[in-house]
């Protein structure tokens, strides 16, 4: 019909679609990274909470049993130990101890230990002790008069002591989901009380 105007054709150009898809991709990637970081942070906070709970349990056991316990840290795990006065050496708790068994950190998580405000160098993992090595350790850790050696000394001595008096070596452990990532810091006082502080992002 003469004089009738046609409406412009609707739709998007290929360039416009590519720009929109690119923006959606960036937003999705940022959301994924954010969720991943939050999940890692939550996992590390759970590890810190579990360690605090286990420490409380061991402290109560130490007082009730009148025994000396210890806490040994490695770069990616920790374990509770108990001092055997008959053998004059530290030993891991019994394999059937449940919550007190050696605990490995999840994924690529790492920890740093601070005692008396100083950073403590941590071995990567617990060495395998053979029977003959145990015999040598037992002999070395006994004093010259045949009495057991000082529980706070020796190659297998833990970095943290949990004494039958209820006292605990004050320490702080910094847990991270990966090397260089922000994490949480668990601070433990000499009375066993704990405080968890989150790193700033």
Q: Establish if 3 belongs to a structural domain.
A: no
Q: Establish if 171 belongs to a structural domain.
A: yes
Rounded Cα distance between 186 and 191, Å, is 14
Q: How far is CA 54 from CA 79, 80, 112, 192, in A?
A: 10, 9, 18, 11
Please count the structural domains in the chain: 1
pTM beyond 0.75: no
CATH number of the domain enclosing 92:
3.55.40.10
Q: Establish if 1 belongs to a structural domain.
A: no
Q: Establish if 7 belongs to a structural domain.
A: no
Domain range spanning residue 141?
14-198
pLDDT tens-digit profile, the chain (201 residues): 555 555 555 666 877 767 777 677 666 555 444 334 434 567 888 889 999 999 999 999 899 999 999 999 998 889 999 998 888 888 887 766 666 778 888 888 889 999 988 999 988 776 544 344 454 455 554 444 444 444 554 457 899 999 999 999 999 999 998 888 889 999 999 999 999 998 875
Q: Establish if 9 belongs to a structural domain.
A: no
Q: Which helix (H) or strand (E) holds 140?
A: helix 131-141
Q: How far is CA 126 from CA 51, 74, 75, 201, in A?
A: 18, 7, 10, 32
């Amino acid at each position: 019909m003469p004089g009738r105007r046609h409406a412009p054709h609707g739709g998007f150009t290929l360039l416009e679609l590519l720009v929109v898809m690119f923006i959606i991709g960036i937003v999705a990637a940022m959301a994924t990274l954010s969720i991943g970081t939050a999940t890692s942070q939550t996992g590390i906070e759970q590890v810190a909470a579990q360690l605090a709970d286990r420490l409380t349990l061991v402290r109560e056991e130490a007082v009730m049993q009148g025994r000396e316990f210890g806490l040994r840290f490695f770069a990616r795990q920790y374990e509770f130990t108990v001092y055997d006065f008959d053998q004059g050496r530290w030993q891991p708790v019994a394999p059937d101890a449940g919550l007190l068994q050696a605990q490995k950190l999840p994924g690529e998580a790492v920890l740093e230990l601070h005692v008396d405000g100083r950073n403590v160098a941590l071995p990567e993992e617990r060495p395998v002790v053979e029977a003959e090595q145990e015999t040598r350790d037992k002999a070395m850790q006994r004093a010259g008069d045949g009495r057991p050696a000082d529980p706070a000394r020796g190659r297998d001595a833990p970095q943290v002591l949990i004494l039958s008096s209820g006292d605990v070596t004050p320490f702080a452990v910094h847990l991270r989901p990966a090397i260089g990532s922000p994490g949480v810091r668990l601070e433990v006082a000499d009375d066993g009380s704990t405080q968890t502080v989150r790193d700033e992002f």
